[in-house]
Amino acid sequence: MRSKVSPSLTDTPPEINSIHHNKHTTQTTSFVIQLSWFGRIFSSLQSGLIVDEHSLVFPEGFVPPKALKRLVVNGRSKAQVKRKRYSLLWQHFDIPPVFEWRWLGATLIYQVNGLVYELHFIGYRDSRAFAGQIKSQWAHYHQKRLLKLVSNVENTTQARYLRHSRLKAIQQRVAQEYPRWLPWAQSTHLSNSIGDAVAKLKAMHNWSETDINELRERFIQKQLRLYRNYFDTVESNPLTEKQRRAAVIDDDSNLLLAGAGTGKTSVMVARAGYLLTSEQSRPEEILLLAYGKKAATEMDERIKDKLGIDSIKTSTFHSLGLTIISQVEGKQPSLSAWVNDEEAKTQWVQATMESQLLNARYRQQLIKYMSDFYYQPKNTFEFTAQSDVDRYITSNDIRTLKGERVNDVAHLHIANWLFIHGIEYNYSATYEFGTLGKDKRANSNSNHKSGADGASSAVGVIKADFYLPLSKVYIEYYALDENGNTPAYKDKNHYQNMMQRKRELHSQQGSRCIELFYHQYAKGKLNNALKRGVNKMQLNIVPIDDETVLDRVRESGRLIKLAGLLSQLITVYKSTCQGKLTLEKILHRVAGNTTNTDIQQIRLVFSLLRPIYQQYQKYLRQQAQIDFEDMVGKAINYVEQKKFIAPWRYIMVDEFQDISEPRARLVRALRDSTWPKIAQPESAQP
């Protein structure tokens, strides 16, 4: 009984009796591997296995597996066809076939299209003798693919900067080729050219970050030496080392960070000239983008002056958009008159908003916005000094729907809710039963101004935040969070003492009081808490009709201001979202950075904006016009839909830090539309 023997890949086949005798060679043109004695007697196979420079010919009686029937050839000669011998070309083998020694003979194991197959009952002696030669035959056939891959990778890394896309493509191809040759090729006698290529393939497969950086740095230094004279003379003064490197480095996307006056424009000019001088690009393949017409004109003049070329395209984003739209649609689009007349646009928005106010739901949403969110909500706990609070209140001229100036944004919500629900109130009211200025406890508050704590500027006097004269109910608002903490600019102990004095006063006088807190306002629950308090006091609520409230809003001039805000929001929304950013996506973006009040405000503004925006877009379509934002938006769609293929291989954007999302999408779309032609290096081709 034989034990299982592993094939030795380093043995040189000995002289054997076969069809061909090749005593001192490692590769034969053709040879036969006989069946084992068991295979000759008991198997359906009737002859040996023929190996030649083109294929592996299976024994007579071999039945190809179903998956191989499309690949196998019914013989390569008349004799083989007649005897129904099938062959499989070397090109179909993923890796060299190998032998595994078993009890009843060796087994040939081969892999085709990722699937592994076995052929049993091969003679021990022949399989051992010719194992190395089978590998040599396979390597001889497949060497062209290996040598080409290695050569192309070397040429690419020497002739071009190793971009991330090129690196990824190289690594993918190397990863595909690596298991075809390693590790077996390291212990098999192969030609010097194949052996060297295998060693290089292994090194490429094991590239580290340091190796990649060294390849890139080697290319950079080579370019700096070759084009030293160019970088010395392209500008009035020789470029610095960092400027030269910025001009040479050529990744898929490159960001140049530099302060004002440090020569960013010089780098853009030098890079454009370097690409032309090094013959990596033609003038018509370079695009320079700027935000304003003046900047684009200055860039164009600089290019012409320094490089002596007028065929490099310099453009603004809007001009580029017009170019793309005109080329796709075959005519120049018509611009809306509103692009240069914001006042006329605002008047249109106001008129459209007035028509929307005929809808009860829209009317209620607008009133709620005016009542609760017209002024930008401010977190009381963000302030560090009372002077900051006073400055914020004064500079924003925060007033109620009745026109009163308040000391706190939360007071605004309370006053507006009371007004809308028809409840008469007095703001910052003196207690009917007198002040607290007659005892020692009141005197301790004598140096504090009135505000959220309800303390009057009069010495020793504390006032109620609100007083409802018809029902004789007081409303006290306390700037406390859920943990009982006060803002940083308030003394916590003093504030709690003030609260205690107010509570004792109401208790002594038997007055009714509704208490409200900052944490209710922060969570957007202040109005609900106020409503519960009013209901508990069984106060009579007679809401004012919507038209009366709207008249107040119109008289205050807030409706015109809101129209101006919505007009700006149309521009902002189109310039940042291009219709792809839904309300839920907006809320997802700001999640974690906003309070519940902020989220309510965003939802409400979005609800007010949506019908105005839809009417605005409808109007432009009916007039067959576009605005500035459409110049970019339509261009994005045409590029992403491949209706416009960018001719520019290199795109440089001035002042990129100011870019909006749609402009960034346009640049990305233009870049990606050129990638099918340039992203894949020669080494990535199979």
Q: What is the 3-state secondary structure (H, E, C) of 261-329?
A: CCCHHHHHHHHHHHHHHCCCCCHHHEEEEECCHHHHHHHHHHHHHHHCCCCCEEEEHHHHHHHHHHHHH
Q: pLDDT means per 10 residues in the chain (686 residues)?
A: 31 30 47 94 92 92 90 67 81 95 95 95 94 94 96 95 95 96 93 96 97 97 97 95 96 90 91 96 95 92 93 94 95 91 95 96 94 81 87 88 90 94 93 56 36 40 86 94 91 92 91 94 90 93 93 92 93 72 63 66 88 94 92 92 93 90 91 65 38
Q: Which of 564, 550, 604 is nearest to 401 (CA)?
A: 550
Tell me the backbone φ, ψ of residue 151, rounded to 5 degrees: -65, -45
For residues 521 and 413, give the distance between their C-alpha atoms in angstroms, rounded to a whole number.
Answer: 9
**How far, in Å, are 577, 586, 590, 607, 611 from residue 583 at the CA level?**
11, 5, 11, 9, 14
Burial 124-154 (b: 16+ CB within 10 A, else e): bebbbbbbbbbbbbbbebbbeebeebbebbe
Report angle CA 469, 470, 473 to the nearest 5 degrees: 60
Query: What is the structure's pLDDT at 1?
Result: 33
Q: Please, which residues have CB within 8 angstroms of residue 321's CB and are 6 or more apart in sequence?
A: 630, 631, 632, 634, 635, 666
Cβ neighbours around 492 below 10 Å, total: 13
Query: What is the structure's pLDDT at 394?
Result: 86
Tell me the backbone φ, ψ of residue 377, rounded to 5 degrees: -60, 140
Q: Identity (one letter) of the amino acid at 373?
A: F
**How far, in Å, are 14, 31, 93, 102, 108 from residue 193 at the CA level?**
25, 24, 21, 35, 28
Task: Give the domains, in start order, of the chain with CATH numbers.
Answer: 30-140 (2.30.29), 227-336+633-684 (3.40.50.300), 339-358+552-622 (no CATH), 380-390+397-544 (no CATH)
For residues 169 and 683, give the distance between their C-alpha atoms in angstroms, rounded to a whole number.
Answer: 8
Is residue 12 within 8 A of residue 189, CB to CB? The reply is yes
For residues 117 and 88, give the distance between their C-alpha atoms in angstroms, rounded to a whole number.
Answer: 12
For residues 141 and 27, give the distance between their C-alpha atoms in angstroms, rounded to a whole number.
Answer: 12
For residues 137 and 53, give the distance between their C-alpha atoms in angstroms, rounded to a whole number.
Answer: 6
Q: Please, which residues have CB within 8 angstroms of residue 346's CB and are 6 or more apart in sequence?
A: 560, 563, 564, 567
User: Where are the extended beta strands (E) located within 454-532?
Assistant: 464-468, 473-478, 512-517
Give the H or E element holding residue 603: helix 596-622
Is residue 353 within 8 A of residue 559, CB to CB? The reply is yes
Q: What is the 3-state secondary structure (H, E, C) of 398-451?
A: CECCCCCECCCHHHHHHHHHHHHCCCCCEEEECCCCCCCCCCHHHHCCCCCCCC
Q: Are strands 512-517 and 473-478 parallel, antiparallel or unpaired?
A: parallel
Query: What is the structure's pLDDT at 579?
Result: 54
Q: Please, which residues have CB within 8 angstroms of residue 77's CB and are 6 or more apart in sequence?
A: none
Q: What is the 3-state secondary structure (H, E, C) of 312-373?
A: CEEEEHHHHHHHHHHHHHCCCCEECHHHHCHHHHHHHHHHHHHHHCCCHHHHHHHHHHHHHH
102 burial class (0-12, 13-18, 19+ CB within 10 angstroms)? middle
